Chains A and B, each alone.
Chain A
Amino acid sequence: MSQEPAMFDQPSPDELDTLIGARLRGTGDLPDAAIRPDGALALALLDAAEKSRLDTAYSATLEERLRAAWRPQPRVSRSILRIPLPTWTRRPRALAAAILLVLALLGALLAVPQTRAAIAALLHIGSVTIIPTAPTLGANEPTPLPSILDLAGQTTLADAQRHTPFHIRLPNYPADLGAPQYVFAQDMDGKAVVLVWVDPQHPDRARLALNELSSDIYVYKFAPQVVQETQVHGQRALWTTGPYLLQIGSVSDQHNALRRLVTASHTLIWTEGNITYRLESDVSLEEAVHIAESLH
């Protein structure tokens, strides 16, 4: 027996959704729900939405702005866990064996109290812990750009600053450096920022990559070839040479760590306040310190 819908019976959530869908698709006959008050209001809302349009002049200006801002996009992996690693790390057995080897060597080293004390004293700075184990990796060469750029969280500097609880600092040396070409606000509690300047002579390579890391982030560097103590603004800093395996993660989320092979020739690590800085580059130690001391 068919029954006319009562005027004040309200449509069920499913009925209302069906009505909304029918209206959005522009299908002819609308369900009975349309004549009930909630249905009628939903239709009025859809009508109001359809009539609201971005101002034509504003829209044209915005399109021009977007066209001007457009750049060819690098490929970015979906997750920081899926950052491409060298071929040997993509083979599960080889990767597992390498990690086990690293952990075994680390365990052996840490089992010796003097070694443990020496490591703690020498190889820890800010958020960074350097672990002197030695995976066998390729020859020294500048970090290829894709390995830095293949990160999640690409954004603008302004957007990164809005989502980062500390002031993002930029070097004003070298004078021609300008703003970074790529900015990544890493999704590790939103407290790690990676700034990348492209080498103008070699657009496929990074000139500088500066990581700014809050104290909630930890960094393990496995087996850099050289560790040298130096100073930035008179404070202790470390200077390392690749290649090494880098692991970055959030203290509060140990499972979602980023692992990346860094083949950069040099990395300078220092702290200021609660922030740890890593500067990857192929410049000399003196030049790197000069850049570090120019952050503002």
Chain B
Amino acid sequence: MTEGPGVVPGEIVDESPLPDDRALAHAARTDRDAFAQLYRRHADRVYRYLLVRLADQHLAQDATAQTFLVALERLATYRGEGEFVSWLLGIARHKAADVLRARRASLPLEAAVAVESPQPRPDQVVETRLRLDEVGRALRSIAPERAEALALRVIGGLSAAEAGVVMGKSEAAVKMLVSRAVRDLRARLAVSSEDEA
């Protein structure tokens, strides 16, 4: 089952029972409001995933829009066999891949070198909160599968099993990839306890 992010402190929680995603997705085929509700429910999660994958707010916004437009057009192909948000993040994953492919093709070498070298100083990392675009830049320097697993599991909030379905991996493989991604990222961001000390 998908593990959504916890409630933000201070946020008003509507305790009335909400239709689940599957019911909304089914209704959204004939009900515009149902799709809008799905959008509001998942827009932030899709955006976060795309922000950490693309490391650019504007690219992430565009890709979020494209993801939902494609979801809207392909809604009838979602048959409720998995979590709706997994299906949505599957679309987002393809959008991110398109953007990254295009960026690789168009970036001059010097720009590529520049984006591959984020490495904030350890003291900067400690003193400031992590930002997803920073994390995304750091993720570019680790193995793509590890970065993807971390983005889907930690940032996208899918369970390891759901992320496995999106990636075509087992649940155990996703856990391993996430574990290694965090380790790699920690080295990359230089936030080890040794550094803090």
Chain A: residues with CB nearer than 8 A to chain B? 7-8, 10-14, 16-17, 20-21, 23-26, 37-38, 41-42, 44-55, 58-59, 62-63, 65-67, 69-70, 72-76, 78, 152, 154-156, 159, 162
- For B20-46 the 0/1 string (1 means CB < 8 A from A) is 000000001110100110011001100
Chain A residues lying within 8 Å of B157, measured Cβ to Cβ, are 24, 49
Instruction: Report how many A-B pairs have Cβ atoms within 8 Å.
Output: 153
A279: min CB distance to chain B, Å? 23
Contacts A37-B192, A65-B65, A75-B76; A49 near B6 (Cβ below 8 A)? no
Is B87 an interface residue when CB atoms closer than 8 A count as contact? no
Is A152 in contact with B182, judged by CB distance below 8 angstroms? Answer: no
Contacts A24-B6, A51-B129, A76-B76; A70 near B32 (Cβ below 8 A)? yes
Is B186 in contact with A49, judged by CB distance below 8 angstroms? Answer: no
Is A13 in contact with B178, judged by CB distance below 8 angstroms? Answer: yes
Is A16 in contact with B178, judged by CB distance below 8 angstroms? Answer: yes
A55's closest neighbor in chain B, by CB? B61
A79: min CB distance to chain B, Å? 10
Which of chain B's residues 147-189 have a Cβ closer than 8 Å to chain A? 150, 153-155, 157, 159-160, 172, 175-176, 178-179, 182-183, 185-186, 189
Chain B residues lying within 8 Å of A26, measured Cβ to Cβ, are 5-7
CA distance A25 to B3 in the complex (A): 6
Chain B contributes a number of interface residues (CB within 8 A of A) equal to: 60
Is A66 in contact with B35, judged by CB distance below 8 angstroms? Answer: yes
Chain A residues lying within 8 Å of B29, measured Cβ to Cβ, are 72-73
Is A10 in contact with B183, judged by CB distance below 8 angstroms? Answer: yes
List 21 interface pairs A-B (beta carbons < 8 Å), by A numbering: A8-B193, A17-B178, A20-B178, A24-B4, A24-B5, A37-B191, A42-B154, A42-B182, A50-B6, A52-B44, A53-B47, A54-B47, A62-B43, A63-B43, A65-B65, A67-B36, A72-B29, A73-B75, A154-B73, A155-B70, A156-B70
- For B139-151 the 0/1 string (1 means CB < 8 A from A) is 0000000000010
Chain B: residues with CB nearer than 8 A to chain A? 3-8, 28-30, 32, 35-36, 39-40, 43-44, 47-48, 51-52, 61, 64-66, 68-70, 72-77, 79, 98, 129-132, 135, 150, 153-155, 157, 159-160, 172, 175-176, 178-179, 182-183, 185-186, 189, 191-193
Chain A residues lying within 8 Å of B185, measured Cβ to Cβ, are 41, 45
Partner of A155, one of B73, B130, B179, B182: B73
Is B61 in contact with A54, judged by CB distance below 8 angstroms? Answer: yes
Chain B residues lying within 8 Å of A23, measured Cβ to Cβ, are 6
Is A13 in contact with B8, judged by CB distance below 8 angstroms? Answer: no
Partner of B32, one of A25, A37, A67, A152: A67
B192's closest neighbor in chain A, by CB? A37
Interface of A is mostly: helix
A61: min CB distance to chain B, Å? 9
Chain A residues lying within 8 Å of B191, measured Cβ to Cβ, are 37, 41, 44
Is B155 in contact with A21, judged by CB distance below 8 angstroms? Answer: no
Nearest 7 pairs of A and B residues by beta carbon:
A26-B6, A24-B3, A13-B179, A13-B175, A73-B29, A48-B130, A73-B76
CA distance A106 to B65 in the complex (A): 50
Chain A residues lying within 8 Å of B160, measured Cβ to Cβ, are 17
